[in-house]
A = this chain, B = another copy of it.
Amino acid sequence: MNPPDSPREACGVFAISAPGEAVARLSFFALYALQHRGQEAAGIVTCDGRTAHVHKGMGLVSQVFTEENLAPMTGHLAIGHTRYSTTGSQRLRNAQPHVIETMDGPLALAHNGNLINAPQLRRELLERGIGLSSSSDSEVMLHLLAGAGGPGVDWLTRIRVLMARAEGAYTLVLLTREGVYGVRDPWGLRPLALGELEDGSFCLASESCAFAPIGARMVREIGAGEVVRIDADGRYQVHQGAAPRQPAFCTFEQIYFARPDSVLAGRQVHRTRQALGRQLAREAPQPGADLVIAVPDSGTPHAIGYAQEAGIPFSEGLIKSRYIGRTFIEPTTALRQARVAMKFNPLPGNLSGRRVVLVDDSIVRGTTSGPLVQLLRKAGALEVHVRVACPAIRHPCFMGVDMASHDELIAATHSVEEICRHIGADSLAYLTIEGMMAALTSDDELGGDLGTVPDDMVGGYCNACFTGQYPFESVPVELGRKDVFDGVLADADQEAAAAAPVGLRP
């Protein structure tokens, strides 16, 4: 199946220090809840203060881990990772966490993000006579940490050295002999949250949805530039690792990436998405419509919000297949529409004779929207009005999201009218940037315990994919760096074939 027409996220991380607990098992359940942030590979490292144990593999968390391989992973410290490749390569040796030996014992690192100055950092390491065995940012950061200061220098100091040098998006978790660390870059591009277990020890996760399955409660979100250390006793301290920069939290975490039950910027994501949908209804109403439906599943919260605000009934118009697996079987010419019909099943009983508002969370390449509109019409819909709960995406991302290249972004090269014609809709409207920011930052009538947006998030978003204004002074001309390196070292390891991920996010 073609890649879904959605941006793709680059990883989930988790860290825990909990004396007396089965930390590998807790990490497993936490990673299971972070599965939506990466389905290519998964890994866990544990440490008992002296010895590090690692298990990694290709595939879903549930495929990688078994009772047998979790059992020997002893210790009270652990970090974990779920990976979605930003480069398209599927290799076990790129699976994280990465682990090395240093003069101060084992050091493990797991990473969500992308360094935009990695080429310079690589060159410096190579010039210091260090050979690099992979194309990953993680190896670069491990060597920077291992070589910062000298033997015996404490890890917090080393992390500060790294943060002074690294530019880009990076939410990190680290494991050392004496504790685990969480690091959020000074721009706050990728999320990180602190949780407290029932026994009073602490953990860190990319999203708060990882806390419930392990019986933990959310304490707070980690701020831009902060470093959290959880020591061997499970107690935490927060340090400022680098001065925060202009805050630039990724808007797409709110719109699409995060799980609806996670809390981001102080509010549950499902409610934020309803707020976006309501704002969309205010900006782009469709008075005579009979029915609001979503592009499931990611567009459903926005559609519910739209329907509520517009006072139009919400129902299901498209059912999404739950057993997609991945298939590479090509349909015959006669079946050109089979692809989208395999994934989305229209409900003529609900659609026939209706004027329909179809709410989607975003449009990237525009490859899905056209076939969906056709499916709805064929199922009897009289009119199909497409509403998109974010602005038009016109610029690529260099901060760890695999959106598409500039030329692949339909809104980079087409006007809204052209796109509307292209997808065959009766009307098409995107949310405005202003409306989106209003919905993201102002409290609304649904407010409650989980509804207060912190002041520092007002306006503190990275909207580069909509505006082209990146949070960094110098933006890479191209993303080709990795290709250059892959040109130098084309790995054909059989590992790639070992396990294909299934059940990719629909």
Q: Please give the residue numbers on chain A whose beta carbons come within 8 Å of chain B beta carbons, in ascending order.
A: 21-22, 25-26, 28-29, 32-33, 35-36, 39, 50-57, 60-67, 69-70, 72-73, 92-93, 98-103, 105-107, 123, 126-133, 142-143, 145-148, 150-151, 198-199, 209, 212-215, 259-261, 267-268, 270-271, 297, 300-301, 304, 308, 313-316, 319, 321-332, 334-335, 337-338, 341-342, 345-350, 352-353, 380, 446, 448-451, 485, 487-495, 498, 502-503, 505-506
Contact = CB atoms under 8 A, between A and B. Distances in A.
A115 to B, nearest CB: 16
B492 A55 contact: yes
Given A214-B335, A322-B503, A342-B29, A105 B488 contact: yes
B127 A103 contact: yes
A51 B327 contact: no
Most buried by B among A28, A326, A502: A502
A73 B329 CA distance: 14
Given A32-B321, A55-B492, A271-B350, 19 more contacts: A29-B329, A35-B323, A52-B489, A56-B494, A57-B493, A57-B494, A60-B323, A60-B502, A62-B326, A65-B327, A129-B143, A129-B148, A131-B142, A259-B319, A268-B350, A300-B316, A322-B505, A324-B503, A352-B450
A92 B495 contact: yes
Contacts of A345: 33, 209, 212, 259-261
Nearest to A59: B325
Given A54-B493, A56-B493, A107 B131 contact: yes
Contacts of A321: 32-33, 35
25 contacts: A21-B334, A25-B329, A25-B331, A29-B335, A32-B321, A33-B345, A51-B489, A54-B493, A57-B494, A63-B502, A69-B494, A72-B490, A92-B495, A99-B133, A101-B488, A102-B126, A131-B145, A131-B146, A213-B338, A261-B346, A270-B319, A271-B350, A325-B503, A495-B495, A503-B503
Contacts of A67: 328-330
A93 B315 CA distance: 43
Nearest to A60: B325
Given A101-B485, A322-B505, A446 B51 contact: no
Contacts of A199: 334
A182 to B, nearest CB: 20
A33 B132 CA distance: 32
A480 to B, nearest CB: 15
A99 B60 CA distance: 28
Nearest to A378: B212
A63 to B, nearest CB: 6
A147 B133 contact: no
B323 A451 contact: no
B55 A489 contact: no
A267 B347 CA distance: 11
A213 B335 contact: yes
Most buried by B among A33, A92, A147, A347: A347
Contact of A32 (B25, B127, B304, B342): B342
A215 B101 contact: no
